[in-house]
A and B are shown apart, each in its own frame.
Chain A
Amino acid sequence: MRKGVMRPGHVQLRVLDIDAAVHHYTDLMGLIEMDRDDQGRVYLKAWTEVDKFSVVLNPGDEPGMDFMGFKVADDATLTQLGKDLQAWGCAVEEIPAGELKGCGRRLRFQVPSGHFFELYAEKEYTGKWGVSDVNPEAWPRNLTGMKAVRFDHCLMYGDELAATYDLFVNVLGFHLAEQVLDDNGDRIAQFLTVSMKAHDVAFIMHPEKGKFHHASFFLDTWEQVLRAADLISMTDTSIDIGPTRHGLTHGQTIYFFDPSGNRNEVFCGGDYHYPDHKPVTWMAKDLGKAIFYHDRVLNERFLSVLT
């Protein structure tokens, strides 16, 4: 049952070289730089997003994800979810409004898989970038690179997936859209949604807590995914795999790395999920096809290369 969590709002990623990272996320991926702060963080968004930022690049000496934030319906919902998280047994830290520029107060908590998440209700509304609110054109003409449409989801690797599932589903109101089960019926992958999308956040079982697999951005068409692949070659960007299709979600995809080794995905298509849908199940013995539908074989890198 929905609990007032609306959608993914932002992800903060640590990067080793901020200039190289900004170049990658803007020139190559087509995000737009929106602001910087006195901690050296750079705020970016994709052009269709209405709020001020969705990606925050944070200079550091170890890449990976600091946190992923979800936007909730309103401040009363935020307060209630904070209480519900604490009642469930999660420590909740309140980050004051303005700590991220243009963002209201955030409630930060660590889930059993080891990852940090945040909820917030308010962020500066800047509108879609490059088009007007009234009689908007189809798209802005001065986008660069892959012209990413929106920040879409993240995939995390960690353990304690069952407890993580309990928190996301029963406290935060996510639905299980897709899953991978092993021979014992244990869930080794869970794709969770608060929308019609096949995933707003996903988790894959991994012995080390708190690992980051990728941040994903939506493109409109398969041709745009192929064009992204061309740009990855033109810029000699580190590629992981693709263009291909996933079995899970059936999205069409390509994976590559930012200059600090954080994995990115751009994808299009994918299945939809309504709350009355039963979860789609893949079996672990078919994991190759579940992840790479065409090759039907896993590459070791996809499972082991994490930040």
Chain B
Amino acid sequence: MTDNYEIVELVKGQHFSCQRDQSLLKAMEQAGKRCIPVGCRGGGCGLCKVQIRSGEFDCGPMSKKHVDEESRRCGQVLACRVYPLSNLTFEYRPADALASAKQQVQ
């Protein structure tokens, strides 16, 4: 089993690698990429909400205000609380765009 997963942000096409037990946001910061805005890094402020498109992951605790059960099921989660378990692809779009994408899913 590999210790590093390949991560791709699909909107800007940025690639970076993520270690096991490392959050998606922290991996991005360590790689010097800027495809997700960095806020509190604690699942509280909601700034780093992304749409996971493929891959397995665990989630740490996140504010229910920003990620409800429905969002979580749709893979709309906070990058600071996403711990990849495989290679993973995701999209980052500003918050209002995510909301309309969620309506389309529903």
Contacts and interface: CB of A to CB of B under 8 A. Distances in A.
Interface of A: 16-17, 61-64, 238, 257-263, 300-301, 304-307
Contacts of B42: 16, 63, 238, 257-262
Given A260-B42, A261-B39, A63 B63 contact: yes
A278 B85 CA distance: 59
B44 A260 contact: yes
B64 interface: yes
A215 B80 CA distance: 22
A303 B76 CA distance: 24
B27 interface: no
A187 B39 CA distance: 27
Given A261-B45, A305-B45, A305-B47, A16 B40 contact: no
Given A257-B40, A261-B43, A305-B47, 6 more contacts: A16-B44, A63-B43, A238-B42, A261-B40, A307-B45, A307-B63
B63 A261 contact: yes
Interface residues of B, number: 15
Contacts of B65: 62
A68 B98 CA distance: 33
Contacts of B44: 16, 63-64, 257, 260-262, 307
Contacts, number: 59
A263 B39 CA distance: 10
B38 A301 contact: yes
Q: Is the interface of B mostly helix, strand, loop or mixed?
A: loop
B72 interface: no
B67 to A, nearest CB: 10
A122 to B, nearest CB: 33
Interface string B45-75: 1010000000000000111110000000000
Interface of B: 37-45, 47, 61-65
B93 to A, nearest CB: 16
The main secondary structure of chain A at its interface with chain B is loop
Contacts of B39: 261, 301, 304-305
Nearest to A261: B44
Contact of B63 (A62, A259, A304, A305): A62
A293 B62 CA distance: 33
3 tightest Cβ-Cβ pairs between the two chains A and B: A261-B44, A261-B40, A261-B42
Contacts of B61: 16-17, 260
Contacts of B41: 238, 257, 261
A247 to B, nearest CB: 24
B81 to A, nearest CB: 9
Interface centre among A64, A263, A305 (most CB of B within 10 A): A305
B25 to A, nearest CB: 10
B63 A16 contact: yes
A260 B43 contact: yes
A304 B47 CA distance: 8
B45 A306 contact: yes
B63 A61 contact: yes
Nearest to B45: A305
A17 B63 CA distance: 11
B54 to A, nearest CB: 27
